[in-house]
Amino acid sequence: MDAPAAEFAVREAGVHSESGADRCLTAVVPLDALLPADSPRVAGEDPRHVHALAQLDARLPPIIVHRSTMRVVDGMHRLRAARLRGDDRITVRFFEGSEADAFVYGVRLNTLAGLPLSPADRTAAAERIIGTHPQWSDRLIASATGLAASTVASLRRRCAGSAQVNARTGRDGRVRPLNAAEGRRRAVALITAKPHASLREIADVAGIAVGTARDVRQRLRLGEDPVPKKLREAESRTAADTSMALRATPVPSAPVTTGGEQPLPNLRRDPSLRFTEGGRALLQLLSAHAMGGERWQRLVESVPAHRTAMVAQAARNCAEAWQRFALELERKGA
């Protein structure tokens, strides 16, 4: 048991099966032991709803509290009503899990019962969940936020900082690749290299379902394109959207620095870097990335449409690696 909850007499409450959350425990805790909710409500709590709850004679359901942080997950209106009545303790149900999962759980509960979330609340919650759970499908996020899957898809396209993933988990718990065409092409390569491979082996290596592997093999035997027309069209639309986004994004003409002086020319003249193996390798890498806007644009135009997403992800991975490198240098120099 975590230290903040150690003083409480905790009793087993079973599994809260409503949302697939981890095991929950109930306890009666002091109000002062609780932290405010990381609430999905953009405007905060509604004072009228708080007063209405405070006037009820019936016992209110337990509020949900994140066990490891003692932060309210769901039930801020009930907590404020308890304070208004002069109570010093309240019944809580503990949520076991990460803070990100606790937020999703709170959003889901607010879409099922209690004071409804506003459209702005649900939209803001969906944008946050897209960032914390990028591997979730649009339909899964929609089911948690009460939005349409098409709305979540639109929000995901607008979230420039959202992580890129190759597969997503659906509402049924199954993981499906985003680009089904690529999985089929991997299957073609394996079937060509190993004609007698089993369907299970093809499916496992290519990351596709056994039924998809069977369909690919059958199409090859009939001389048909292993990628159905609808998948090719969807792939073309995605590539076109990515290409338009790249063209719409301005490319800086020169590397941006915090000071008025470009550091690379000075680094190139530094003997401590020029005359050591590691220093020369570092200067070569820095020089390769210190390109002007025209060269960057030529590289953008050289990427074929069907590889834009993959190259973009590779570029992001490189950028993240350089960012970690910069942070390590700053810590070293601190």
Residue-wise pLDDT tens digits, 44-91: 888 899 899 888 888 888 989 998 889 998 888 999 999 988 888 999
Of 73-82, 152-161, 184-193, where does mean pLDDT reach its minimum?
Answer: 152-161
Q: What is the DSSP string of 15-77?
A: --TTTT----EEEEEEGGGPBPP--S-TT---HHHHHHHHT--SPPPPEEEETTTTEEEE-HH
Residue-wise pLDDT tens digits, 92-114: 999 988 888 989 998 988 888 77
- Helix (H) or strand (E) segment spanning residue 73: strand 71-74
- Closest C-alpha among 167, 152, 161 to residue 316: 161
* CA gap 104, 19 in Å, rounded: 10
Q: Cβ neighbours of residue 187 under 8 Å, at least 6 residues apart?
A: 202, 203, 205, 206, 208, 212, 213, 216, 217, 226
Helix, strand counts (H, E) of the chain: 15, 7
Q: What's domain 3-112's architecture?
A: Alpha-Beta Complex (3.90)
Give the start-to-end residue ranges of the domains of the chain: 3-112, 119-175, 179-227, 232-252+261-333
Distance in angstroms between the alpha carbons of the first and the last residue of the chain = 38
* CA gap 186, 206 in Å, rounded: 5
* CA gap 14, 19 in Å, rounded: 13
* CA gap 27, 93 in Å, rounded: 6
* CA gap 329, 331 in Å, rounded: 5
Residue 217 binned pLDDT confidence (cut-offs 50, 70, 90): very high
* More confident position, 319 or 143: 143
Residue-wise pLDDT tens digits, 221-277: 888 888 888 777 766 665 555 555 445 545 444 444 444 446 777 777 777 777 787
* More confident position, 298 or 69: 69
